[in-house]
Structure 1
Amino acid sequence: MLAHSEWKAAGEQLENQPVAGEQAALNQYAHLVRRVVAHMRSQVGVVADRDDLQQIGMMALLKSIRRYGRSLDEQFESYAFKSIRGAMLDEFRRLDWRSRQSRKEAHDFRDAVRELRRELGREPRDAEICVALKISERQLLNMRYLEQAEVVESFEMLLEQQTHFVDSNEDIEQLEVRQLMTQTLALLPERHRILLQLYYTHELNMKEIALTLGLTESRVCQLHKQSLQLLTEKLKG
């Protein structure tokens, strides 16, 4: 005989199985899961396995389909994208991904770049960092993403604290977030404002933003981290 926990797990698994109409919708909107994984490149690989995130994303998509409450229209993609992204952020926090080793690597990297900046009297170029630290361009990009992941997590937690939930109404919650972001973004320098709008409003990932702005992916990661730090300061102020 199955134990209570096994019955519960079996029930949850059965409940999460899509029916015919839901399966068609999952197939139609599965690209959103891939978009979110690409959008959150700073955590993927550094934080969690891509296949695991794909599965979490598909479950979040199924829940979005069931919760939407009306025919899947042109607004559904934005609604589902945010739901999928939220589910993945919850998973990152659950994993407590910032291991002692990753924190040390990020700390050592920041110290080394800070020292190089002091020596040069300016912001070092990517090639100069690679030579000074004896790392490849790919390793540099990974370090940028590791740094970025820490800042993204801190910013997301602050944003949640700043948002007031009214009667658990998701539409009101999202409106408050948009208003808060709009007001605070207006206080930032134009370059940082454009980058954050491309990331949060247009939902581009770092590689896509780099192509849009004509910069390297590593430079965009660096600017994104700086932009979030500025935005965090404004929100706290």
Structure 2
Amino acid sequence: MARDSLIRHYAYLVRVVVGRLVPGGKSRLEVDDLVGSGIAGLIRAVDTYDPAREVKFETYATANIRGAVLEAIRNEDFLPRSIRDRLRAFDRASLATEVRIGRPATDHELANELGVTEEHVGRLRIAAVASRVGSLDDSTSGSEGDTLRFGDMVADPSVDLDRELQDNEVREALTNALGHLPERERTVVGLYYTENLTFLEIGRVLGISESRAYQLHGQALSRLRQRFRPMLMAA
């Protein structure tokens, strides 16, 4: 298939990735900018894909698109440049290792790739998770069509979420952060991200208005950002 045809054929992957990673409250212009970053990632994937590595193109393209979109998000977030640079290096190492071996890399393999200890890789994993929480906008949409879920909120750009959450440190960090939320905020987060309820439905369950449920959700994200910031600085 010709280069331009490949790009057009797989352009849908960009919308899929952006839809999963970007909060619904982003403006159309912001989303379009991130789609542009995703397209750049897709083009890079088309230009650098090597069939001899026996990795499916969809897998390779999705990883490149996600990396490009996450880099664009991190360029606009609250993270210091030094932290962003470390997370980008972690993303690149994760992608390079996954492409080389055809599966998500273990901490041991990533430690060898980066020239650091496995303990440091663990901290980087936590920081990658924390950066996803930290980059979310308090104005996440409360509409019925909002598709952002907890798995999307914490997803690392190059590591399988199921494997990520099996890491004891990551799971403990998330559980601990959620456990420090006030009870009602914790309930809203659980209903929204785990039970997939809309803010309108959450309001009915808790006997509050949709706008109040939306407000509690925003307060919870703000607390989570504050909670995760030290983890980012320690990466």
TM above 0.5:
no
Structure having greater relative contact order (Cα 8 Å, sep ≥ 6): 2
Instruction: Give TM-score, length-normalised by structure 1.
Output: 0.42
Instruction: Give TM-score, length-normalised by structure 2.
Output: 0.42
Whichever of the two has the greater Rg, that structure is 1
